[in-house]
Amino acid sequence: MADIPLLVTSQNTSSERRISPLWTLAQLKSRLEPITGIPSDSQRLSLFISHSETPILLTPPDGRADDNYTVAEFRVLVPFARVHVDDTRPFSAQENYTDVTLVDKFELSQEEYANREDTVLAWKKRNQLGRFAETETASDLANKVPNKAEIEAKDIRVGKRCRVLGPQERRGVIKFVGPVPALPSGSAAEGDNLWVGVEFDEPFGKNDGTVQGVKYFDSRRNHGSFFRPSKVEVGDFPEINDLFDDEDDDDDEEI
């Protein structure tokens, strides 16, 4: 006899299965146990079919045992009917598979996490990103080229193709050059609060050219970012299609 496709459901499960009409009811219940998690002797099977308004209880008639009554003898069992498995055990004895608080969680102390070499924190340290970036000394600041002079020296202008330097190369078009009062300046020197707005070819950006509600240039969503001039290089950089991870969110050279 051909197998019968059925939908098997319980309080926590739902799956489509094929059963053999030659199985006994006891064999059917034993196969439903690993599917539903309900022990065979605690299962109550109900059949739901389209032309019946009430479920049909699948129990052997005349006091016959489950192990000598075959599935085929339930003549109402039709393909694609639903068999629902109820758990007859007291509620306190039933396993709760949906309460995640009962699952032991892996925990790692801050010290153990800091000592691992395969974490995001370790990657930031190796690449000197975010709070691990090298800080500028007084000598560095004294020798630093003002943003305005660097923009002129690099010929950074709106409409030019560019690439942004960093752990991964990103390419795009310069859409804005000028001051952004909402962003921090490199120093109090005149011409040192100039930013370069770039629209990337790929969705590598942090905004759409807007900072704190002020629109500085038009860009597609998640394609725009603002950079210090030192991070931008102008040139003939064609579009590339490779997708890379975005830079660290804490990088104070990009906003």
Is 16 within the bounds of a domain? yes
Same domain, 66 and 89: yes
**Alpha-carbon distance 10 to 33, whole Å?**
11
**Alpha-carbon distance 70 to 42, whole Å?**
19
Query: Closest Cα partner for 86 from 55, 114, 124?
Result: 55
Sheet with 43-48: strands ordered across = 14-19, 4-9, 82-87, 43-48, 56-57
List of E strands, 11-95: 14-19, 43-48, 56-57, 82-87
- Judge whether residue 48 has pLDDT over 60: yes
The CATH number that applies at residue 218 is 2.30.30.190
Q: What is the pLDDT of residues 135-152, one digit of tens each?
A: 545 454 445 567 888 999
221: tokens are: 């969503």
Range of the domain at 125: 106-132
Is 254 within the bounds of a domain? no
Domain count, the chain: 3
149: tokens are: 């002079």
Same domain, 194 and 126: no
Look at the pTM and tell me if it is higher than 0.85. no
Q: What is the pLDDT of residues 179-209, one digit of tens each?
A: 998 887 655 455 568 899 999 999 988 899 9
Helix H segments across the chain?
25-36, 110-115, 120-127, 138-143, 147-154
**Alpha-carbon distance 221 to 243, whole Å?**
16
184: enclosing H helix or E strand = none
Q: What is the pLDDT of residues 113-131, one digit of tens each?
A: 889 999 988 888 887 676 7
The CATH number that applies at residue 57 is 3.10.20.90
8 A C-beta contact, residue 100 and residue 26: no
Q: What is the pLDDT of residues 163-173, one digit of tens each?
A: 998 777 899 99
